[in-house]
Amino acid sequence: MRLIGPNGEQVGVIATSVALNLAKEANLDLVEVAPHAKPPVAKLIDYGKFKYNEKMKQREARRNQSTAEVKEIRFRLKIDDHDFEVKKGHVERFLNGGDKVKVTIMLRGREQSRPIGGVELLQRLADEVSESGTIEFAPKQEGRNIIMTLAPRGKKVHTQSEQRRRGAESRAERQARQAARLAAKQEAQAKAAAEAKEAIASQD
């Protein structure tokens, strides 16, 4: 097989038994990276570290995915002030949590003939929660309902981005410390691989 060292260096074409002995001496794993090549290619790696890094990459990818949901709040056209304030509080809470809000005004009977009242109510809501969200989709009548969608303001997105940035910096610091601890080990491993290569060359 063709062997690649832990730092990407080419060790050369050697017997599998020799590669296994080198892996054991260097306290590394022998992993095939191109089994169908001629000859097959294997690499000396710390498989545990490799799996850990893959896990961290997947976790970071999930963390960066958008987790925003669309919440729904329903109003009656003739809602009293107290209920309006309660529902407005729910809307603000959803927006501050980073979620979009679909607000629906349900029209009854004759109310359907004058939807302008529902539009005005939705506009009033949008104005009163303007610090937390903005209108993404303007009020629109759909059958017996008037619907409007509110989206969180950019500052919420920026806050989330800042939290992610700080988290990334913290993770980078931890990884840097880990890399420093492993540096000596990797240097020793590379030295062992080089010595093995020289020993193989002298045998030839």
Which tens digit of pLDDT belongs to each residue from 65-77? 555 678 999 988 8
Hey, what are 24's tokens? 């054991």
CATH topology for 70-152?
A: Translation Initiation Factor IF3 (3.30.110)
Rounded to 5°, angle at Cα 33 from 27 and 39: 105
Confidence bin at 158 (pLDDT 50/70/90) = very low
**Sequence ranges of the domains in the chain:** 2-47, 70-152
163 or 151, which is more confident? 151
- Residue that the structure tokens 């296994």 belong to: 20
Give dist(CA 116, CA 104) in Å, integer: 14
pLDDT at 203: 62
Separation in Å, CA 66 to CA 16, 20, 74, 92, 160: 47, 45, 25, 19, 10
Instruction: Please report the pLDDT score of residue 165 as a whole number.
Output: 61
Render pLDDT for 40-88 as a digit per residue (tens, 0 to 9): 899 888 888 888 888 888 888 776 655 567 899 998 888 888 999 999 9
Residue type at 43 in one-letter notation: K
Mean per-residue pLDDT of the chain:
81
**pTM reported for the whole predicted model:** 0.43
The domain over range 2-47 is classified in CATH as 3.10.20.80: yes
Pure H helices in the chain: 16-25, 47-64, 81-96, 116-128, 154-203
